[in-house]
A and B are shown apart, each in its own frame.
Chain A
Amino acid sequence: MKKVLLSGFVIFTFLGYSVQQRFDAEQTSVIVPNSSVTPSAGFSTIVTPTPSPTAAQAGSTPPLAKPTATPTPKQLGQYRDGQYTGSVADAYYGNIQVKAIISGGKITDVQFLQYPNDRNTSIEINTQAMPYLKQEAIQAQSANVNGVSGASASSAAFVQSLQSALNQAK
C-alpha cells in the first residue's frame, strides 16, 4: 500500500510538470508541482522528480494569457486530452517514469514506463490481504541433511530479555 501511495504522489507531480507546460489561463484549477514529495513513513528518502528541460520551473506562476472576448473551454475536466510522459526521476531504489493518458479531461490510464525493480525491498507489494495458509501436524523426519535450522538461545531476543528480567526478580 505504501508503495502505491508514493507512486500516486509521483504521478501527480509528473502531471503537474507536464500539464503546467500546457496550462491554459482559462482553466480554473491548477496542479502546482511540488519540488519534493514527502514519503510515507516507510521510506527514509525524499523523492525529488527531476524536471525535464521543457517543463515549467517549480514554483513559477502559470503564464498569464489575456482573456479572450469569447472564452471557449475545451473540456469540462481538469486536464487536456492527450498522453503525457513524465521525466525520469530517481526514486532512490531505481528510476521511475510514468505516462498518464487523459481522455475526456480525466486521467484514464497511468502506465509505468520504468519502475524500481533492482532491489529486493522495492518489489514487495501486498498482493493479497489474506494469505493462503495450510496446516499439518509435525512429524519426525529421518533423512540425512546438510544442516538444521532451529532457534538458538539468543535468536528469540524478546524471550531472552524476559528471562534476564526474571532472573533479576528472583
Chain B
Amino acid sequence: MDMPVIVEIVGESKAQAFETVFDYFHWVDNTFSTFKSASEISKINDGRLPVSRASREMLEIFRLAEQTKRETDGFFDITRHGKLDPSGIVKGWAIHNAALLIKKMGHNDYYVEVGGDIEVSGHNADGKPWTIGIRNPFAIHEIVKIVHLINHGIATSGTYERGKHIYNPKTQKPAGEIASITVIGPNVYEADRFATAAFAMGNEGIRFIGKRRGLEGYMIDTGGIATFTDGFEAYTI
C-alpha cells in the first residue's frame, strides 16, 4: 500500500504505541500487496502457494470478501482478470484491526487513517468529535463537506481523473457517472467494503447505501451535485 498511514493517539507521547501500529500495517502490506511478488497473495495468484495452505488471515479475508459479494449482489468482487485482488476489503479490515490494537492498549481517543479511509474513536485533542473533511473530487486540495465523528469509520471510493469510467463488474460496461462516494459506518471495515461496492454501482450506489441500516452516504456526481442519505446530515452538525 503506497498510501500515507496516519495515526493519532490523544495523550500518547511514547513512540512504542505507534510503532506497534505501523508494524502491523507493514505485515498487512507484506501479506496482501499484489505489487509485492513475495507476498502471500502474489504466491497464491501465480500458483506458488495453494489456497489450502493459505494463512488464517488470508482465509478470513476470502471469507469476508465472499460475504460482501453476497451482501452487495455481486458488485463487490475481488476477482480481477482471473486473479485475486483483495485490496478493496483488506484496507478497511486492516485499519479497523489497527484501531482495535490501539484500543487494547487502553486508549479511547484515537484516529487511524490509510489513504483517505479513517476510523476514529472518542474525541480529538480539543475534546471534541473528530472533524473530517470530504475531499472535493475536482479540486483535491479543497474539502466540500465536514462531518463530526466519535466512534465511526469513514471511507471514500472514487476517481479524480475525468473521463475514467467505473466498470460494472457484472456487465463489463460503464456503470454510471459518479466522481466519488463517501460512506460513514460503525467502523471503517463496514464503511470501506460498502463504499467500494457502491462506487461500482454508479448512480445507484447511494440508494444501496440508503437502504442499509447503519450506513450513511454522500455521493458526488461528475456534475458536482451531491446526493446524500437521510441520516447523513446529522453528522454535519
Complexed CA–CA distance, A126 and B213 (Å): 7
Is there contact, CB below 8 Å, between A138 and B220? Answer: yes
Please, which residues of chain B bring their CB within 8 A of the CB of A127?
Answer: 213
| A118-148 with Cβ < 8 A to chain B | 120, 123-129, 131-141, 143-148
Closest chain B residue to A162 by CB distance? B167
The answer to the question of B59 belonging to the interface, with a C-beta cut-off of 8 Å to chain A, is no
Other-chain residue from B71, B116, B167 in contact with A151 (beta carbon distance below 8 A): B116
Interface residues of A, dominant DSSP: loop
Is there contact, CB below 8 Å, between A131 and B210? Answer: yes
Nearest chain A CB to B129 CB, angstrom units: 9
Is there contact, CB below 8 Å, between B214 and A124? Answer: yes
Complexed CA–CA distance, A34 and B67 (Å): 26
Is there contact, CB below 8 Å, between A120 and B186? Answer: yes
Other-chain residue from A42, A147, A155, A159 in contact with B71 (beta carbon distance below 8 A): A42
Other-chain residue from A131, A137, A150, A162 in contact with B224 (beta carbon distance below 8 A): A137
Is there contact, CB below 8 Å, between A149 and B211? Answer: no
Is there contact, CB below 8 Å, between B87 and A162? Answer: no
- What band does the interface of chain A fall in when counting residues whose beta carbon is under 8 Å from B? 35 or more
Complexed CA–CA distance, A140 and B111 (Å): 24
Please, which residues of chain A bring their CB within 8 A of the CB of B214?
Answer: 120, 123-124
Please, which residues of chain A bring their CB within 8 A of the CB of B81?
Answer: 161, 165
The answer to the question of A44 belonging to the interface, with a C-beta cut-off of 8 Å to chain B, is yes
Binds A, one of B11-19, B39-47, B49-57, B131-139: B131-139
Given A134-B227, A134-B230, also A145-B1 (CB < 8 A): no
The answer to the question of B151 belonging to the interface, with a C-beta cut-off of 8 Å to chain A, is no
| B146-166 with Cβ < 8 A to chain A | 146, 154-161, 164-166
Is there contact, CB below 8 Å, between B116 and A148? Answer: yes
Closest chain A residue to B185 by CB distance? A120
Is there contact, CB below 8 Å, between B146 and A155? Answer: no
Closest chain A residue to B208 by CB distance? A131
Is there contact, CB below 8 Å, between A148 and B228? Answer: no
The answer to the question of A152 belonging to the interface, with a C-beta cut-off of 8 Å to chain B, is yes
The answer to the question of A69 belonging to the interface, with a C-beta cut-off of 8 Å to chain B, is no
Complexed CA–CA distance, A156 and B80 (Å): 13
Is there contact, CB below 8 Å, between B180 and A147? Answer: no
Is there contact, CB below 8 Å, between A151 and B160? Answer: yes
Please, which residues of chain B bring their CB within 8 A of the CB of A75?
Answer: none
Is there contact, CB below 8 Å, between A149 and B156? Answer: yes
Per-residue CB proximity of B209-235 to A under 8 Å, as 1/0? 111111000001000111111101100
Is there contact, CB below 8 Å, between B199 and A138? Answer: no
Complexed CA–CA distance, A165 and B81 (Å): 10
Nearest chain A CB to B66 CB, angstrom units: 8
Is there contact, CB below 8 Å, between B164 and A159? Answer: yes
Please, which residues of chain B bring their CB within 8 A of the CB of A153?
Answer: 3, 115
Please, which residues of chain A bring their CB within 8 A of the CB of B160?
Answer: 151
Nearest chain A CB to B131 CB, angstrom units: 4
The answer to the question of B143 belonging to the interface, with a C-beta cut-off of 8 Å to chain A, is yes
Please, which residues of chain B bring their CB within 8 A of the CB of A42?
Answer: 70-71
Nearest chain A CB to B123 CB, angstrom units: 10
Given A133-B229, A136-B225, A145-B143, also A151-B87 (CB < 8 A): no
| B1-40 with Cβ < 8 A to chain A | 1, 3, 6, 8
The answer to the question of A163 belonging to the interface, with a C-beta cut-off of 8 Å to chain B, is yes
The answer to the question of A64 belonging to the interface, with a C-beta cut-off of 8 Å to chain B, is no
Closest chain A residue to B76 by CB distance? A157
Q: Top 3 closest A-B pairs, CB basis? A: A131-B210, A150-B135, A152-B115
Apart from A44-B66, A147-B133, A148-B132, what are 10 other A-B pairs with CB-CB below 8 Å?
Answer: A120-B190, A124-B214, A134-B230, A135-B228, A138-B224, A141-B146, A151-B160, A152-B116, A154-B87, A157-B80
